[in-house]
Amino acid sequence: MNIASQVANIGSDGSGVSQAIQVSVLNKAKSADAAAVLPLLNSAVQESQQIQSTASNPAHLGQNVDVRA
Residue 18 lies in a domain: yes
Residue 31 lies in a domain: yes
Tell me the C-alpha to C-alpha distance, in Å, between residue 5 and each of 2, 21, 23, 37, 64.
6, 11, 12, 29, 62
Q: What radius of gyration, in Å, describes the C-alpha atoms of the chain?
A: 25
Residue 19 lies in a domain: yes
Residue 60 lies in a domain: no
pTM of the model: 0.40
Residue 39 lies in a domain: yes
- For residue 40, what are the domain limits? 3-52
What does the pLDDT look like over 3-50, one tens digit per residue?
666 555 555 556 677 888 889 889 888 888 888 888 888 898 888 888
pLDDT at 36: 85
pLDDT at 2: 64
Residue 58 lies in a domain: no
The total domain count for the chain is 1
